[in-house]
Structure 1
Amino acid sequence: MGIQHTVVFRLRHGQGSGEETAFLATAHDTLTAIPGVEDFTISRQVSPKSDLDWQFSMVFADQAAYDAYNNHPSHVGFVESRWVPEVASFQEYDFVGLE
């Protein structure tokens, strides 16, 4: 059964800023190049009920693919060099469908 990995977050950068655009573009290019990442999407939050602005969503075929992604040098490097210094707040969710 597949795993849908999602993370909802707010950046330290202003909305519509060049820094925000660069972060999202780098995330897309870096994360989609990692083997096992399927159906990657970036979505913008439109509800005033949340203070988090963005969502990354991706699907993995199984736990082994998800674990390989988490440990992949490109993912680790992105988290260390971009995510930690540029993300102000986030929530992470991982889902599997009901059988």
Structure 2
Amino acid sequence: MKHIAVFNLRHAPNSPAEAEFLRTIEYLGTLDGVKDYKIWRQTGAQADYAFAISMEFATEAAFRAYMMSEDHLNFAYDKWYPHVRNSMDINLEEV
């Protein structure tokens, strides 16, 4: 399955704080079960979100384990929520 989080930051565009956060979130790609982790920047004007991260999981159970892992939860509270103004998760499975 694929997990995508689209988001906007509290930081000014192209600021050192924005760059630092984008480096910080690379950590998520190292967590158990995460495959094909990528960070994306919006290039079109039609979307309300400036960035996205995407990752894949072998199974839904692997995704759920990731979401509930202590490493992920600590990251969310310590790093994600303080820096992200708004976000939306999109979870997809292939048909």
- TM-score, normalised with respect to structure 2: 0.94
Q: Secondary structure at the residue paired with 2:63? A: helix
The equivalent of 2:13 in structure 1 is 15
Contact 1:5 1:93 in 2 (8 A): yes
Indicate whether 1:47 and 2:57 are aligned.
no
Please tell me the root mean square deviation across aligned C-alpha atoms, in Å.
Answer: 0.9
Contact 1:34 1:72 in 2 (8 A): no
- TM-score, normalised with respect to structure 1: 0.91
Alpha-carbon distance in 2 for matches of 1:46, 1:66: 28
The equivalent of 1:24 in structure 2 is 22
Number of residue pairs matched? 95
5+ residue gaps in structure 2?
A: none
Q: Which segments of structure 1 move beyond 2 Å, counting only runs of 4 or more?
A: none
Q: Give the fraction of aligned pairs with identical amino acids, expressed as a percent.
A: 34
- Aligned residue type for 2:40: S
Alpha-carbon distance in 1 for matches of 2:29, 2:41: 18
Indicate whether 1:72 and 2:69 are aligned.
yes
5+ residue gaps in structure 1?
A: none
In the TM superposition, what is the alpha-carbon distance from 1:9 to its structure 2 partner?
A: 0.4
